[in-house]
Amino acid sequence: MLCGLSFAAAWRAGSILTDAEGMHDRAEDEAVPRPFKPRFRWPARPLLTLRRAILSGGGTAGRLALAIVLFSSATAIVTTAIQLGLEYRGDLRAITQRLDEFRRSQLPTLTNSLWMLDNELIHIQLDSLATLPDVEALTLSVDGKVKWVAGTHLSKHTETAHFPLIHDDNGRDETIGVLAVTSSLDKVYDRIWDKALTELFSNAVKTLLIAGFALVLFQRSITRHLYRLADYTQEIDFDQPNRPDLRLDRKRRTTPDVLDVLVETVNTMRANLTASFIAARQAEIRIRRANRNLGELLRVNPLIGDEVAEYFALITEKLCTALDAGRAEIWGRDEPPGFYCLDGYDVDTRKHVHGDRWPDSAAPNYRAAIERDQFLAINDTRHDVHYAEFLTALGRRPDFASAIHAAVTQDGVLSAILTVEHAGAPRAWTADELGFVSAAAALLAAALAARDRNAAQRELSDYKDRLEAMVAMRTTELTRANAELTNTLAILQSTQTELVEREKLASLGSVVAGVAHEVNTPIGVGVTAVSSLQRATEQISGKFRAGGLKKSDLSEYIDLAMLSSEILTTNLARAAELVRSFKRIAVDQSNETTDSVELGSYINDVVNSLRPQLKRGRHSIEVRTDGPVVLDTTPSALWQIISNLVMNSLMHAYGPEDRGAMSIAIEHAGAAVAIVYADDGSGMPAEIRRRIFEPFFTTKRGQGGSGLGLSIVYNLVTKTLGGTIACSSTPGSGTVFTITLPLRTEETRDQRLF
């Protein structure tokens, strides 16, 4: 405590001296005479240096000083207490030794005097004993009564020893009295107290000096360098990559210490962050360029008109511009089996080329790889065997370092290959660049489909001109059907544009390609029905003009016309349903309304709305929750998710005679909530489980399955609600979907966009 007070006094002294110096300077400036000038001045400069050292640490130096003072004070108190205790015991032992010597030398004489009852001699002996060191008073008692007293009780702290006076009477010991000797302990306590004060004061001074030296050393060796490090990191500017490295103002050391390591780490971190910032800025420039070129591609409508070749040329040019590539080519299917160049653009020559061919037999491994993987991202062409086989089939030299090859499919069959090649040093293709190529491949698939459709439409227009009045009404219906087909295609085009604006480029290609594939089937069936009807119309028209038309011929024609109408109506309805399902995938998140719902109650409402479907198959569903959970979400999206999961189980997990048991468990997890949906159905193998969230993937093709149910669930969970979804399933053990949603959907979506 004394050390702490000394330290505080030194601190206060520094403050007072600082004020005193300021007052002294002001007094000299004002020329006020001072009557007295002391000869002695406190050492103000060391104290001021000590105070600045404490303040400069921002609290760290003060805590260090306090720790030093407390530890030194505790050590000083403990050691001083031990030392004083030992000295106190030594003083008591000395007093005890003197009393023992007194007992051996003086008691026999005093015993003889008391036996002879020599009162005068007893007084003389007691008075002489009272003059011994540390002896303050003596009393001699006989039969318990005090008879003689010598000395006076003056001390506050005393210690009394009793000595029996035993006389030997013919071999028999007889106690004739008791001598009480009172010793004073005041001198012992005074000496101990003085020494304690001296020791504590000296330790306080030493502690203060050590703490001050440690603070100054800490400020000079560490604190000022840490402030330099902090200032340097705050002034880092990524727009100045050539800024000099951090250097501390101190002597170089042969062996680096922790500050040297920290400086080197800061310099390395600044260099890495600057390089990452520059790379990110370059990537942003490439993304903007790719978006601009993709927008130009989307503004051109390849589904209308006959200028498909010009659209092919536009695709190759935009690929080279957006990806900074040297060459881009479109390879279409050829007969005999092989590929031919629909369009190729070379940046160096700025020319388009056509007509190059290569057969399938020249590159079988390359053909198998592109059909299997659908996408080949080749960062270094020198070490890729498939690219080498591709060059060999064309008879070309390896002039390009990196390449991207994307497959274009129609009705599940490879119809074209899109290639992009980069010259110079090998490059690692980014996800945005791969997504751009995927989007271009999807647009190319739509252009190829448009080319085939336009040819079919031209053929149909030739047949229309020869129809007779009898089939005029049927022709009108066909025209109306064709208009509905065109309207369906226009809706598809509008939906495609909306998807491009709202979804990431990486997923755009697969979704558009899936839609084109699914819609192509009912449209193709419709074209076939129209073609059959047209041929029948020509035949009956010829018989009519020749005068050989029979009633049976007309009846057969009417039956065929009715069948063709039913086929057209069914397939057009199927195409419209696919388009509506597709529109649900690209939900406009900006128009969604959010509301706070109690999750357990809301899911129970959803399950109740599905009771008719559950009762039809005698299935059951259970909703479990561990308490109320309020969720800020989009209720319509949540309803769609639960209903799609239930309907997916009913369609795929159970047979006609199965009685299924499904469950929905709600678990609160901090700032999120987990919804675990499970069924005890047939389960699924790993190869199917990996594809369940893909658009238009279904195992019930032709049996009512569209392949959009779980794809819609995935988009609603991840895009609309900002959550995650995972699936686990094994054959024969049922399926479990785990959905994790934030309690506040809008905040999560804003964080993801930021």
Please give the backbone phi and psi of residue 457, each rounded to the nearest 5 degrees, phi first.
-65, -35
3-class state of residue 280 by DSSP: helix
Is the pLDDT at 595 greater than 60, yes or no?
yes
pLDDT (0 to 100) of residue 574 = 64
What is the Cα 618 distance to its own chain's centre?
45
- pLDDT band of residue 555 (cuts 50, 70, 90) is confident
**What's the pLDDT tens digit per position in 647-659?**
888 888 888 888 8
Class of domain 589-753: alpha beta
3-class state of residue 97 by DSSP: helix
**What's the pLDDT tens digit per position in 408-460?**
988 888 889 999 999 888 988 888 888 888 888 888 888 888 777 777 777 77
Class of domain 466-586: mainly alpha
Domain regions of the chain by residue span:
104-190, 240-299, 303-446, 466-586, 589-753
pLDDT (0 to 100) of residue 271 = 84
Please give the backbone phi and psi of residue 441, each rounded to the nearest 5 degrees, phi first.
-65, -40
pLDDT (0 to 100) of residue 328 = 94
- The residues, any chain, with a CB within 8 Å of residue 261's CB and separated by 6 or more, are none
Q: Which residues pair with 173 in a beta bridge?
A: 168
CB 136 within 8 A of CB 158: yes
Q: Do domains 303-446 and 466-586 have the same CATH topology?
A: no
pLDDT (0 to 100) of residue 679 = 93
CATH fold group of domain 303-446: Beta-Lactamase (3.30.450)
Crossing angle between the packed helical segments 599-609 and 635-648, to the nearest 10 degrees? 50
Q: Report the DSSP pairing between strands 172-184 and 135-142.
A: antiparallel
Is the peptide bond prior to 336 cis by the omega test (within 30 degrees of 0)?
A: yes
Q: How far apart are CA 446 and CA 577, in angstroms?
A: 19
Other CB atoms closer than 10 Å to residue 405's CB: what's the count? 25
CB 723 within 8 A of CB 741: yes
pLDDT (0 to 100) of residue 467 = 59
Please give the backbone phi and psi of residue 244, each rounded to the nearest 5 degrees, phi first.
-65, 155
The one-character DSSP state at 547 is T
> Higher model confidence: residue 52 or residue 525?
525
pLDDT (0 to 100) of residue 307 = 65
3-class state of residue 502 by DSSP: helix
- pLDDT band of residue 31 (cuts 50, 70, 90) is very low
- Average pLDDT score over the chain: 77
pLDDT (0 to 100) of residue 290 = 66
**What's the pLDDT tens digit per position in 371-399?**
999 989 999 999 999 999 999 998 888 88
- pLDDT band of residue 592 (cuts 50, 70, 90) is low
Other CB atoms closer than 10 Å to residue 183's CB: what's the count? 22
**What's the pLDDT tens digit per position in 234-275?**
878 777 777 788 888 777 777 888 888 888 888 888 888 888
Tokens, residue 315: 């695709």
Other CB atoms closer than 10 Å to residue 442's CB: what's the count? 23
pLDDT (0 to 100) of residue 702 = 61
Nearest C-alpha neighbor of 4 from the set 69, 68, 79: 69
Please give the backbone phi and psi of residue 142, each rounded to the nearest 5 degrees, phi first.
-125, 125
- The residues, any chain, with a CB within 8 Å of residue 623's CB and separated by 6 or more, are 600, 603, 604, 607, 663, 664, 666
**What's the pLDDT tens digit per position in 186-242?**
777 887 888 888 888 888 888 888 877 877 777 777 777 788 888 888 878 777 777
